[in-house]
Amino acid sequence: MALRRSVVPTRFWLLAALTLPALVGGCSRETGPPAEPVRPAFRLEEYGGRVLDLSHERGRVVVVFFGYTNCPDVCPTTLADFLSVKRRLGPRADAVRFAFVTVDPGRDSPDVARHYAAQFDSTFFGLSSDSVTLAGIQRQFRAASWVGTDSTGAVVVAHSASTFVVAKDGTLLPPVRGDFTRIESLYQAVDGALRH
């Protein structure tokens, strides 16, 4: 391929490269299902009063993505995929909760997160918390994120690429990788979870 890209190096990425593996606790865990069933639990109140409490979602499938609203590419792509999957599921989507959880609570207040998710579909949860709560939630999903600044002072964010699916019995299913096949993979994961 003769296409060449020249990339601006930043101190941020060096730091991120050093710290992210420690935060994630070994990103290779995302490559397969957990050895033991994991049942993540969190309760977050959305701006406006709606609550997503995983312990109250037994019998429903919950789809979770960790992103941020200033993300112009991956996050809107993922939420657009959520909408495509929801439409494809038809009435069965009533048994699915789609949730966007911001990894950038410093900029994404609860109302911002709610408004962002609602742009895609009014039923989607848009959730924000505080950094400590967020870290606890991400740990359960074996997800991670990093918010910092680059050499120009611009905010930069790294976050887990995967989408997470919680089955009807509350167990965490293998993560759906964030690549170009994600929309089909996500549909298959949610469809399969609904059938079990």
Partner 1 sequence: MRCVTSVALLAVMAAPALAQQEPRLWVDGAWARPQADVARPSAAYARLVNHGSDTIVIRRIGCSTAGRAEIHETVTENGMVRMRQVARLSVAPGDTASLRPGGMHVMLMALRTPLVAGQTFTCTLFVRGGGHVDAEFTVRAP
52 or 161: whose CB is closer to partner 1?
161
52 or 186: whose CB is closer to partner 1?
186
Query: Binding to partner 1 by residue 59, rule CB under 8 A?
Result: no
Place of tokens 């420690």: 22
CA distance 38 to 184: 24
Give, as ranges, the residues between 28 and 57 that touch partner 1 (CB under 8 A): 28, 30-31
Query: Binding to partner 1 by residue 22, rule CB under 8 A?
Result: no
Query: Binding to partner 1 by residue 162, rule CB under 8 A?
Result: yes
136 or 148: whose CB is closer to partner 1?
148
Show the site string, 68-87: x = touches partner 1 by CB under 8 A, - = not. Answer: -xxxxxx-xx--x-------
Both ends of the chain: CA-CA distance in Å?
Answer: 45
52 or 81: whose CB is closer to partner 1?
81
- Cβ 21 to partner 1 shortest distance, Å: 7
CA distance 162 to 66: 8
How many other β-carbons are positioned within 10 Å of the β-carbon of residue 96? 22
62, 85, 127, 157: which one contacts partner 1 (CB under 8 A)? 157
- Cβ 141 to partner 1 shortest distance, Å: 11
Amino acid identity, position 80? A
Q: Which residues contact 183 (CB under 8 A, 6 or more apart)?
A: 81, 84, 85
- Cβ 171 to partner 1 shortest distance, Å: 20
CA distance 128 to 118: 14
Query: Binding to partner 1 by residue 158, rule CB under 8 A?
Result: yes
Amino acid identity, position 131? S
How many other β-carbons are positioned within 10 Å of the β-carbon of residue 40? 21
Query: Binding to partner 1 by residue 122, rule CB under 8 A?
Result: no
